Amino acid sequence: LIADMDSTIITSESLDELAMLAGIGKQVEAITRRSMAGELDFETALDERVAMLAGKPKELIDQIIANSKLTDGARILVQTMRAHGAFCYLVSGGFDVLTGPIAAGCGFHGHHANHLDHNGTTITGTVRKPVLDRQAKVTHLTHYCHLHNIDLAATASIGDGANDLGMLEKAGFGVAFHGKPI
């Protein structure tokens, strides 16, 4: 199982939540909507949104971690799949500071996400490159198939946005969970 995090394993879009706490929610939400609908390139949209956070306090990240809520059934999905021998990975275009605790709480074998740069006290407004995008999700899916000697037909993926389409199409079973219009 390769699962997206935002609006899939957790109930919110973490970058939008971070922006709301920072007082720039409306501007960031508009870009997120366009990106998730496939109207904007994911990396460009991510860079634009993160740049708006430059100079905001790093403590906002801790609030996002504390406020994140799992989608009903997320933990049960991962635990059930693991109980039946499946390997489960959280692969998100969000941030690793959040995928780590969410992956651990659900029982994923591992996680991959973007790294939001900060200097210890403030958010710098940049994301470490390369950005984990639509193609990177496909790359992780095929990597784990090779690693565990699993045929693509025996895989599942779940996600909600345009940046998930590649892995949803490539997996044996792709689920658009509350999929965005595209």
Q: Which positions are catalytic?
A: 4, 6
Chain centroid to Cα 162, Å, comes to: 12
* Measured distance CA(141)–CA(43) in Å, rounded: 19
Q: Which amino acid is at 45?
A: A
b/e per residue, 119-140, with b = 16+ CB within 10 A? eeeebbbebeeebbbbebbbbb
Terminal C-alpha separation, the chain: 23
DSSP state, residue 70 = B
Structure token digits, residue 51:
């740049």
Ramachandran region of residue 52, left (φ > 0), alpha (ψ -120 to 50) or beta?
Answer: alpha
* Measured distance CA(69)–CA(110) in Å, rounded: 19
